[in-house]
Amino acid sequence: MDKEQVLKALKEIKAASKKRNFKQTVDLIINLKDLDLKKPEHQVEFFATLRHDVGNKRKICALVGPELADEAKKVCDETIMQDDFDKYAKDKKIAKKLARTHDFFIAQANIMPKVATAFGKVLGPKGKMPNPKAGCVVPPKAALKPLYDKLQLTQKIIAKTQLIIQCCVGKEDSKDDAVAENIIDVINQLEAKLIQGKNNLHSIYIKLTMGKPVKLQ
C-alpha cells in the first residue's frame, strides 16, 4: 500500500466531513474474497501491532493472584484479586460493567482455570478473555509494564463469520502520517496471515465515523 495514496485519501475524508460535537475515529474497512470462513484455517483472528496509538488510551484490567498483586496494581488500570473472583461470577451486572469498561484483560497463567470459571461467560462472547496470542496470559512473576505499553499499540483483527474487517486506526485529530502508517501496518500484517496473501483482499476503504467511505484499493 502506497503511503502517499493513503495520505491523499485521509485528506479527502476529512475535507468532506461535517464538524461533529465529538472526535470521530478513522476506520479501516477491508473486504475479503476467496475464503471459506467455515474452515478454521481460512478464518482471521490475530493481534496487529501498530506503530502509533489510535487516539484512545486502552484500559487494561489484571486478574491475578498474590504473586502479581503489587506489580498489577502499580501498572494496570484495575486489578482484581483471585479472592474476589466469586463476586464477579455471582453478579453478572458488575462483570458486564468490567468487560464494557476495559479493552484488554491480563491473567496470571497458573490461575487461568479460575479466571475462565469466573469470567468466561461474560468475557468470552465479547472476545475479551485473556489471550496468549496477545501476550495477555503471563507468569506469576511477570513484568507488566512492557506488556501494558504494547497493548496500547495493539489492535485485534478478526473475520470469522463475515468477509469483512473493520477496525479503528486513529482519530480525526491524529497526525495523518501516524494514521497512514497504522493503516499500512494492519494491511501488511493481514496479508501475512491470509491463505493467499494480498490475493484475498477484495477492496479497502477508510472513513470517519459519520462520513462516507473512500476507496484505497
Instruction: Please report, as a single letter, which amino acid is at residue 68.
Output: L
Among residues 151, 176, 202, which one ends one of the domains? 151
CATH of the domain at 162: 3.30.190.20
State whether 136 and 158 are in the same domain: no
126 and 205 together in one domain = no
pLDDT of 18 strictly over 90: no
Residues of the domain holding 188 = 3-55+153-215
Give the pLDDT band of residue 109 (cuts 50, 70, 90).
very high
pLDDT digits (tens, 9 = 90+) for 20-54: 989 999 999 999 999 999 999 999 999 999 999 99
Same-domain pairing of 67 and 139: yes
Hey, how many other C-beta atoms are within 10 angstroms of the C-beta on 93? 9
Residue ranges with strand state E in 54-149: 60-64, 78-81, 104-108, 137-138
Q: Do 73 and 138 share a domain, yes or no?
A: yes
Question: What residues form DSSP beta bridges with 135?
Answer: none
Q: Mark whether 107 and 171 lie in a shared domain.
A: no
Same domain, 137 and 165: no
How far apart are alpha carbons 145 and 143 in whole angstroms?
A: 6
Instruction: Please count the structural domains in the chain.
Output: 2
Q: Are 81 and 64 in contact (CB under 8 A)?
A: yes
Helix (H) or strand (E) holding 208: strand 201-208
Q: Which helix (H) or strand (E) holds 168?
A: strand 164-171
144, 66: one domain: yes
Of 98, 126, 151, the last residue of a domain is 151
Phi, psi angles (nearest 5°) of residue 78? -150, 145
- pLDDT higher than threshold 90 for residue 62: yes
Identify the CA nearest to 147 among candidates 187, 106, 196: 106
Same domain, 93 and 200: no
User: Which domain CATH number covers 80?
Assistant: 3.40.50.790
Among 116, 151, 186, residue at a domain's last position: 151
Helix and strand element counts for the chain (H, E): 7, 10
pLDDT tens digits for 69-104? Answer: 999 999 999 999 999 999 999 999 999 999 999 999
